[in-house]
Copies of this chain bind each other. A is one copy, B any other.
Amino acid sequence: MTIASPIFKRVDNGGVATITINNPPTNLVDRAFVVELMALVDTLSKDEVTRVVVFRSAHTDFYVNHFDMSGVIGQPSSGEPRRGMSPLTALYLRLSQLPQVTIGEIRGRTRGAGGEFALALDMRFASQERAIFGQPEVGSGLLPGAGGTQRLPALIGRARALEVILSSDDYSAEEAQQYGWINRALPDDELSMHVNRLANRIANFPAAGIKHAKEMVNAATATSEVLLTDESERFQVLMKTPEVANRVKWLLSQDAISGGEVELHLGAALARLAEQSPPHA
Contact = CB atoms under 8 A, between A and B. Distances in A.
A213 B101 contact: no
Interface stretch (A34-42, A78-86, A109-117, A270-278): A270-278
A180 B160 contact: yes
Interface stretch (A19-27, A55-63, A227-235, A255-263): A227-235
Nearest to A162: B122
A227 B217 contact: no
A209 B143 contact: yes
Interface stretch (A1-9, A68-76, A195-203): A195-203
Contact of A150 (B122, B220, B270): B220
A188 interface: no
Interface string A159-170: 111110111110
A153 B197 CA distance: 23
Contact of A217 (B139, B162, B198): B162
A14 interface: yes
The dominant DSSP class at the A interface is helix
A221 to B, nearest CB: 4
Nearest to A124: B159
Interface in A130-177: 137-144, 149-150, 152-163, 165-169
A210 interface: yes
A214 B164 CA distance: 11
Interface of A: 14-15, 49, 51, 101, 121-124, 137-144, 149-150, 152-163, 165-169, 180, 182-183, 198, 201-206, 208-210, 212-214, 216-221, 224, 227, 230-231, 234, 238, 241, 243-244, 247, 270-271, 274-275, 277, 279-281
18 contacts: A101-B162, A122-B159, A123-B160, A155-B157, A155-B158, A157-B180, A158-B217, A158-B221, A159-B182, A162-B217, A163-B183, A203-B279, A204-B271, A206-B277, A208-B241, A208-B243, A219-B227, A220-B224
Nearest to A234: B212
Contacts of A167: 198, 201-202
Contacts of A51: 279
B279 A213 contact: no
A159 B155 contact: yes
Interface centre among A124, A183, A206 (most CB of B within 10 A): A206
Contact of A166 (B208, B213, B218): B213
A203 to B, nearest CB: 6
